[in-house]
A and B are shown apart, each in its own frame.
Chain A
């Protein structure tokens, strides 16, 4: 009897949370899945009570044939891969430097400031920094004899500029997580390795890095999720251009949904992204568990 009332009490406590989750997470997901199977184009005139026609897998099959989507997907992979490599190496490097400094609190605070800036502001800052004629980046490069890089205005460099700006904003995040990981390392293991004669590089490769691996994988997981959903900076900085040179998959989904008003097709793209994210997430979680 007591057990039943406890169970009811427990359900009563978690019920509001479940209801909120259903309303704000489950329902929109199911709704968007429903939309993905329909020709939901805002330009189609519906009669009162009429719904957008159900078209089965047509939107998903169309994605298979859409070279613009495929190109955007490849660009996204490049964006995530290179961005992550820069952020991991720089973030971990700075964390190691900080770890070896004695007075570092103010520096840590200063270094994490970029990750607090809202993405739209980051985009606008990027437009000013990388302006080809009036921007400080090209001015500094010109002092070293490097002239006229187009950055966001050239098809060659626009995606790289996005990666650099994302790295500027999010390297501190990797740095912070790595730094916290370094602080929590079991010092006796590190000291033993030192006693056994392990030098700086070997100590890092064989002791510190393996011990930091779970922490770094969590950081990678978070960053991959974030980068695959990148949108704001692209919108402000390049609008996917010039041409399609910086059009990543989320931006294309946005264009399809909110510029061409093909909500069904856009939702299908969204679900493809969700499936890809789920696969990456599962793999990463397995690695972390291992």
Chain B
């Protein structure tokens, strides 16, 4: 309902703009970009008249460089497809490009995209894909450097947060993609609890230091242990109506490896003087069963013991529900969603809860010799590329440059708004996190936006060589077996993972894998 109303407002604005200025493109841009919530109300009859004006002015405008060119884009179905459809009219109005959007569920994108781009001619001009698959996709996608070097070809490269530029878009020194969805991770904590005077006093008397947001995993475990309490005990000066847990991770089989890597990366970096790695770069021997790796897994196990009893079954929904809807978790690591939806945080489960407040911070790290090793995994996330062999690569590049560019992408990442329904896109540009409009429109997201810049400056890439999914799934299985008690020691679990990793490396070719792994670290700038 609000969507329909919003459209008519934009049409009104666009119509006025077109009539006054007589500029077709200007009218189209105004029609599409002006957020509905900022436009004045109007009546239905006016809307019809103004729509006609837009059509006329567009026709009378300057020639469109790709008039009649059809571009096919394979994209993630559902909410991620929304911006593609929403902007297709603008793309047509500005450049004359007919954008055909082919939707496919995320679990099918790898195989569908890979088969489609291997075909001759390729089935798609543009693909939305996961940056972890670069090792497999590289031969079939077009490096963007040439397009980007042309006049007006810059996609706002310097505006993309460096963590994404380096770890999602760049491969072997070339740019292969543009980020569409800035996934990363943050530590969320109950600020209402951390700020509570009684809790601060109790913590200080128990641990001999101030209660602060943990900077290291040892501190995090202390804080988690302090806050883990049973129903009927006191929390924030009031009686708990439910059990409360200091920390929770998302440990359901499938993606639990992320929550291990949040520990592994700082531990391995601290052990190797700041050089965090998955493999030895010279031999491709796994580092996943080193002492640092084992210590990281033991830290995860200790965290699990302070988490709700069902944490081994926690996927996104379960963690989000326990933390945000039930309010029974003190700290947790998750994607940016909670930060964007912090106004949904439930009160603490006590008789007289304080006003709920969500804190956003960097993921804890490891302190060694006075140096803090603290990282954020830059998730392998959705990016877009131009397919090699596309009949119209310039037009395809124009589309992805626009969709991921500063003006359109701000609307995408601010969604849901009256103008743009939910897209699932998270911020990835400096102009997103510093946007005046974003901060005014979603004041509850400001702590998240503030945390973004710091977090991404300390980004660490997820593994992205051929077979990345298999490596990580074998890691996930080993972790899951250890946490579930199928394997009794962390060392044994990780030795098993290392053995599996060696087998995958041999299967896919050690030298080739070594080459890919080195490419993964060849960054721009």
Contacts and interface: CB of A to CB of B under 8 A. Distances in A.
Interface of A: 42-43, 45-46, 48, 127, 131-134, 148, 150-155, 238-245, 255, 258-261
A133 B307 CA distance: 11
8 contacts: A152-B310, A153-B309, A154-B312, A241-B253, A242-B483, A242-B486, A244-B480, A245-B486
Contacts of A258: 107, 111
Interface centre among B107, B114, B242, B313 (most CB of A within 10 A): B313
Contacts of A255: 473
B511 interface: no
B48 interface: no
A69 B81 CA distance: 38
Nearest to A237: B313
B328 interface: yes
A250 to B, nearest CB: 16
A132 B253 contact: no
Interface string B236-248: 0000001100000
A1 B317 CA distance: 71
Chain A contact residues: helix, strand, loop or mixed = loop
Given A131-B318, A258-B107, A243 B309 contact: no
3 closest A-B pairs (Cβ-Cβ)? Answer: A241-B253, A132-B310, A153-B313
B49 to A, nearest CB: 47
Nearest to B487: A243
Nearest to A48: B120
The bracket for how many chain B residues form the interface is 35 or more
Given A132-B310, A243-B484, A260 B252 contact: no
B253 A133 contact: no
Given A134-B326, A259-B470, A245 B111 contact: no
Contacts of B508: 43
Given A42-B111, A43-B136, A48-B120, A241 B312 contact: yes
B481 interface: yes
A260 B476 CA distance: 13
Given A43-B136, A244-B486, A133 B328 contact: yes
A243 B470 contact: no
A45 B311 CA distance: 40
A261 B111 CA distance: 8
B308 A133 contact: yes
B167 to A, nearest CB: 21
Interface centre among B469, B481, B484 (most CB of A within 10 A): B484
Contacts of A148: 309
Interface string B103-128: 00001001100100010100000000
Contacts of B254: 239, 241
A150 B483 CA distance: 13
A127 B107 CA distance: 21
Given A43-B466, A238-B253, A242-B253, A132 B309 contact: yes
B481 A243 contact: yes
A152 B313 contact: yes
Nearest to B512: A45
Contacts of B253: 238-243
B489 interface: no
A98 B299 CA distance: 55
Contacts of A240: 253
